[in-house]
Chains A and B, each alone.
Chain A
Amino acid sequence: MGATIIEKIVRNNTGKEVHPGEIVTVNVDRVMIHDIFIPFVASKFEEMGFTKIWDADRAVLIYDHLVPASQVDDTRHFRIGNEFAEKYGMKNVHRADGICHQLMTEAGYVKPGDIVFGTDSHTTTYGCVGAFSSGIGYTEMASILGTGTLWIRVPETIKVEITGTLPENVMAKDIILKLIGDLGADGATYKALEFTGDTVENMTVASRMSMANMAIEAGAKCALFAPDEKTAQYCGITLTEKERDLTGDADAQYCRVIQYRAEDFVPVMACPSNVDNVKPVSELAGKEIDQVFIGSCTNGRLEDLMAAADILKDRHVAPFVKLIVTPASRKIYREAAANGTLEILARAGAIITHPSCGLCCGRTGGILTDGEVVVATNNRNFLGRMGTSKVEIYLASPKSAAACAVEGRIIVPKVK
């Protein structure tokens, strides 16, 4: 019988056939720990009685939520992280290079078929290169650091097939928001999502990343894209036979198959205060906004900034509206500086911050107050996520967000 991508990855890892529902112990290829949780990982690790990391080169420590520090105790996390890395010989430490999920794929820490766990829920992102990656808590991270293993329940797979050509004003973000809206916030809980179809095949790895990133918002354990030539190029590798085989077999068992025609997609937004509260932008048009945020591990990549710049070129952000742009990584920032994107954005009045989580994690980067409305390209719009509980957060694609910034109200993006 055929297998889904996740079943193949787990099979390759454990050396035995697996079926959904089984509980198996996997060998972990890579782990990612970020600044918010490093103090907890460090203390749990030592409390558990471990004295060395199973393989320090497989661990990556990334400071991103707290960069630059906005509260006086934040730098404590850096100090503890630095001490932990030094003590246990961790060499892969990024102190101000951008958002963890962007760096994990961009810096080559993740390859197709890898099993990766991270202390952040959006660790599902690495499915964009065909890796099984998922978020865990700090206690489990401490235990992986000691043992190199973790138990998992082999998930059922939901196949999402998308075919055709997307309308010009629609981005991958609109697809994943629509899917989350259709599935519901718990529609894929404990399950794997597998994306196929020519629309997906024609997408950049960056776009696939936006989609895999948000799979958690439907509760998914992971989201997978079959590795292809684009993946190989992105990762700087030649795909092996085994990696090429990481596709869902024709006779694989799926618990659900969902099909979309790309032409049917329209720009959408997730409305306050749930990611699955998705509506077409056209239904929301006219609503006045106070701020726009373009950034995050969901939509802070070069293609996102360029899509925004395309709309903002020779225009200006509406009076009294703030446009905050936070590139996802140092590399992206530099590329956007080199190709003129940052100049276009700055000239349009954007506030361009250092690469980090920024507003998405709600600690800085444009906090709002009662009655304010923000259109944001990140992944969550939960109550209180970006300030008080009376802030309305609309999640959108970079094209929609940029168009709203110019207009000062919600508007369907028109592509020039």
Chain B
Amino acid sequence: MDKFTGKVWVLGDDIDTDIIIPTEYLALKTVQDMAPYAFSPLRPELAGQIRDGDMIVAGKNFGCGSSREQAPEIIKALGVRCVIAKSFARIFFRNAINNGLLLIENDKLRDAVSEGDEITVVLNHFIEHQGAQYPITPLPQNLVEILNAGGLVQAMKKRNNSKGI
């Protein structure tokens, strides 16, 4: 059973893509160049504080707004292990899966945790926080396949290799 434990950063509702990465920085050449500016309109210091394996716990409608795929890519580049939110905006949801960033929908955890708390995620089963367990709804099979391949690029690569093109 896959599980991992980490520290959480807590954010509110409607964390939009302009907060995750302002347009100003979108023409920087790489996602690594953009990562230091993540969340800067809201919490300019946050990008520098996030460590490998940390998790983000947020309110509803996380990732709403633009189709900019740098948003999940940057979150992944910061070392975030997964984002747990009450709900996700749909483009962000697709983009995250396509980049192999794990998203978990849970509408209770956000109101129970405080920033800096440790939580444990037991994949496809539950999240544990201070003794309480929060269930995880499993993802549809087609998405699991993309995640397992390590994202859509890898999945397509595999497909194209097998077709010999």
Contacts and interface: CB of A to CB of B under 8 A. Distances in A.
Direct contact of A and B (CB under 8 A): yes
Interface of A: 23, 36-37, 40, 44, 47-51, 65-66, 71, 73-74, 76-77, 118-121, 123, 134-140, 142-143, 146-147, 151, 153, 185-186, 189-190, 216, 219, 221, 274, 361-363, 380, 382-385, 388-389
Interface string B140-163: 101000000001110011001100
A142 B69 CA distance: 12
- In the complex, which of the residues B24, B67, B88 has the most CB atoms of chain A within 10 Å of its own CB atom? B67
Contacts of B90: 189-190, 219, 221
Contacts of A73: 27-29
Interface residues of B, number: 42
A274 B14 contact: yes
Given A189-B89, A384-B41, A137 B24 contact: no
Given A121-B91, A139-B153, A362-B24, A49 B160 contact: yes
A385 B87 CA distance: 22
Interface stretch (B1-9, B94-102, B120-128, B129-137): B94-102
Contacts of A51: 165
A384 B18 contact: yes
Interface string B1-35: 00000000000001011110011101111000000
A49 B29 CA distance: 22
Given A73-B27, A119-B67, A219-B89, A383 B42 contact: yes
Given A139-B69, A274-B14, A36 B27 contact: yes
From A51, A76, A119, residue with most partner B Cβ within 10 Å: A119
Nearest to A153: B140
Given A23-B142, A137-B69, A189-B61, A384 B22 contact: yes
B66 interface: yes
A185 B27 contact: no
A49 B156 contact: yes
Contact of A361 (B16, B23, B41, B165): B23
Given A47-B157, A362-B18, 15 more contacts: A37-B69, A40-B69, A48-B153, A49-B160, A50-B160, A76-B27, A137-B69, A147-B156, A186-B60, A189-B87, A189-B88, A219-B90, A221-B90, A274-B14, A383-B16
B126 to A, nearest CB: 24
Contacts of B160: 48-50, 146
Give 7 nearest A-B pairs by CB, closest first. Answer: A384-B41, A137-B69, A49-B160, A186-B61, A137-B95, A48-B156, A389-B41
A248 B88 CA distance: 28
A350 B41 CA distance: 30
B67 A44 contact: no
Interface of B: 14, 16-19, 22-24, 26-29, 40-42, 60-61, 64-69, 87-91, 94-95, 98-99, 140, 142, 151-153, 156-157, 160-161, 165
Contacts of B94: 136-137, 140
19 contacts: A23-B140, A47-B157, A48-B153, A50-B160, A74-B27, A76-B27, A121-B17, A121-B65, A136-B94, A140-B95, A143-B156, A186-B89, A189-B88, A189-B89, A363-B23, A382-B16, A382-B19, A382-B65, A384-B22
A151 B91 contact: no
A356 B50 CA distance: 36
B27 A380 contact: no
Contacts of A380: 16, 18, 65
A96 to B, nearest CB: 17
Nearest to B59: A186
B64 A140 contact: no
Given A137-B98, A140-B152, A77 B91 contact: no
B19 to A, nearest CB: 6
A219 B92 CA distance: 11
Contacts of A216: 91
Nearest to A221: B90
Of listed A40, A119, A134, A139, residue having the most chain B CB within 10 A? A139
B61 A185 contact: yes
Nearest to A43: B153
A140 B165 contact: no
Contact of B91 (A71, A136, A142): A136
A139 B99 contact: yes
A186 B64 contact: yes
Contact of B69 (A138, A147, A151, A274): A138
Nearest to B23: A362
Contacts of B40: 384
A151 to B, nearest CB: 6
Contacts of A65: 23
A44 B70 CA distance: 13
Given A23-B140, A185-B14, A383-B42, A219 B64 contact: yes
A219 B17 CA distance: 13
A185 B156 contact: no
Contacts of B68: 36-37, 137
Contacts of B140: 23, 153
B153 A47 contact: yes
A47 B158 CA distance: 11
B156 A121 contact: no
A356 to B, nearest CB: 13
Contacts of B98: 137, 139-140
